[in-house]
Amino acid sequence: MTVEVLNVIAGARLSAASGAVIERRNPADRRDLVSVAPASGEADVDRAVAAAAEAFRTWRLVPAPRRGLMLAEAGRILASRKEEVARLMTREMGKPLPEARGDVQEAIDTTLLTAAEGRRLNGDTAPCELPNKFGMSIRQPVGVCAMITPWNFPVAIPSWKILPALVCGNTVVLKPSELTPACAEAFVSALVEAGVPPGVVNLVCGAVGAALTRHPGVRAVSFTGSTEVGKLVGETCGRLNRKCSLEMGGKNAQIVMHDADLDLALEGALWGAFGTTGQRCTATSRLILHREIADEFVARLRDRAAALRLGDGLAPDTQVGPLVDQGQRDRVHDYVRIGREEGAVLALGGDFARGPGLDEGWFYRPTIFTGVRRGHRIAREEIFGPVTACIVVDSFEEAVDVHNDVDFGLSSSIYTKDVDRAFRAIRDLEAGITYVNGPTIGAEVQLPFGGVKGTGNGHREAGSQVYEFYTEWKSVYVDYSGRLQRAQIDV
């Protein structure tokens, strides 16, 4: 069944002003038309921002605990539709159904976490230097927030952004990826049905990220996507002096030391490198292997990866789904060509996956490179596909040095039984996330998510830290002395 997606502006479901639409087909089977969505333009952005600005006037005055109750109700609605939304997600972007269920569950978890925050949103108090004077700081909402989200987590990532913004009293315009508009509409519909007032959450589909970023009515922009686009968003926001949160690329590595539990490390590498077909910003695109175990580990990894079952994510035995579209498959294949030209050894894969159930989709075989040097492009640039590069090192110190020798710093992992080494890794790995004896993927919503260096600009999603982005601090002084008192002035 084809889903007709419409924009949501001021509570109304609308086509694009131009009437233009974008078709989205199932990446596992191009014959399956999944959704038709508005190809919006600047006129639609103008309407959505105006609606959000008008709604902000009253939404900011709704008590935060009451806002939180609405978000909790949205979570309940989403939970009742978890299977429906997950199946839609699998058709629209390709990930296997168990992973799609996890994506929806993450959004449900975020509603519960954020709803409770409505009863906290703590400020600070501090003693004043003058008598009969009280000082405190409180949080205030920012205003209209633009959310630009990717296709790989089409429900979870919008929830990370939208829910904290709403509980803080902001209003929102969501611009989802053109590849997953139906998932975005399903999430927004749960918020609307939960009682979030018209105009508080607005949905505008299509290639309108630039128009939304530069719109004069927008006070903050939260972006998750490619480094190239993220830099453009950051430049625009910097020029316009507006808040900007960027979550961009990664080149994450799993370190496997000579004392590691190799069975456990192997499971982590398979899941980290090939889960979601490698289409995660936290995917394990590098394996840094101690020389003592490297040959054995690669041989076992190759055998296990070769046995992974590719197919439509709705099939119960599928372990690896398709890439999201032809452009992404071509990009992955081009990087495989680059790796071979650089002198790396193709140990597995490196080509399109063909056969029954695969020929109509954008499938790519799990791919492993060996003989990779740290200077190779496949060891330094984000590929965003089922490709991992194996780099051999002789010591823990060299492993850390290789790990840190990239422009990104999102997620990191080390497998070791040495607790001292594990804590040195926690200290020394340049990343926003470090896993010990776990893969590079698997973040939880109660802790901050984000990276260092080229991965972001210092802000974090999730956890309690996200509220720093969606609020402004106001200092308040109450002088009940009944006379003029002058701070910092000698009496």
Catalytic positions: 247, 281
Q: How far apart are CA 455 and CA 398, in angstroms?
A: 22
Indicate if the alpha-carbon torsion angle 167, 169, 170, 171 is positive or negative.
positive
Q: What share of the chain is helix, strand, coil (3-state, %, to 5)?
A: 40, 25, 40
Structure-token pair, residue 358: 């695969």
Query: Three-state DSSP class for 64?
Result: helix
Structure-token pair, residue 210: 């630039």
Residue 279, C-beta contacts closer than 8 angstroms, at least 6 positions apart: 95, 152, 323, 324, 328, 384, 385
Length of the chain in terms of residues written = 491
Query: Three-state DSSP class for 146?
Result: strand
Q: How far apart are CA 104 and CA 108, in angstroms?
A: 6
Q: What are phi and psi of 340, to 5 degrees?
A: -65, -40
Element (H, E) at 465: none
DSSP 81-99: THHHHHHHHHHHH---HHH
Element (H, E) at 380: none
190-218 CB burial, b ≥16 within 10 A, e <16: bbbebebeebbbbbbbbebbbbbbbbebb
Q: Does residue 241 contact residue 58 with C-beta atoms inside 8 Å? A: no
